[in-house]
Structure 1
Amino acid sequence: MSSFLATADTGTAATAPAADTLKNDGWFPDVELGALREQMKIDGNVTDARLRPAALDAMASCNAELRSWQVKQLAAGYAELAAVPAPQLGGESTHVIRYRRAVFNLVRADLTEQYRGLDTTKSGGQKAEELEATIGEARRNVRIALADIRGIRRTTVELI
């Protein structure tokens, strides 16, 4: 009878874990990667090396989309997003909650788009089609959250 025993290689240096919190620009809130993984159900298939740039890009995109609104808030004297008057839920500004929702859903949409094409079999193609709905829902959630922050009415128009 044989057995296999794996032991850690103590001769190599351990790699440092990725930073758990991504620093934002100082006005918008920082983003916690652990919370992002948990809330968006992002498993270990997405490495920290892929999650980090996706989150940074989502932060940059949301920040850019909110830039003109942010300038108005800065002119009104608000030093950070959390200081802008908004209802508080769970001890947190709804603006911060919605900003986080926008960033997290944008990350989810982008990563889902990247990973859907990895399986080229027939069943993989069917699964990729099913993921279209997930991507669309995530992008819709981004639009809704950013519109709610800016106080823009949501309108859905469908051509008949």
Structure 2
Amino acid sequence: MINQRSKLWNYFLFGTVSFLVAFFISTDEINAQTEDVYKVLKINTEITEGKSKEVKPLFEGERRKIVQLTLRNEMRLDFHSVAEPLTIECIAGEGELIIETGDKTDKIELNPGTYITLESNVMHDVVGKPSVSIILTRFLSVKE
């Protein structure tokens, strides 16, 4: 009888230890998955002293790249285009987005809360009036 209790106790201990090991391993896997599915980005919501043009990378993933761009002292980017669609969100200051499509030019005021989508290969410029801070999100093509 004592030998049988000893075996049962050993089975119980073995089972408990196995369960705990499996639990902690699976918990680590769940935590790793959770950390991979989101990232909290810290942005500056006030324009302080700094360079006339400041680019702060916030995130780069397989499908998107996010930066905070701050233009001070009436700085402008100069006209350019990018191969991917993008969004522009003004978070501080005032500025202007200038979009050229063929012989047409559109000027959009950038104030906190302004959110703009822009298709790929569209000529555009951003100007601080006098300073503006925006979040740019580029939607990248899937790499095969």
Establish whether TM, by shorter chain, passes 0.5: no
TM-score interval (norm. to shorter): under 0.3
Structure with higher RCO (Cα < 8 A, 6+ apart): 2
Greater share of residues in strand? 2
Q: Which has the greater radius of gyration?
A: 2
TM-score normalised over the length of structure 2 = 0.23
TM-score normalised over the length of structure 1 = 0.22
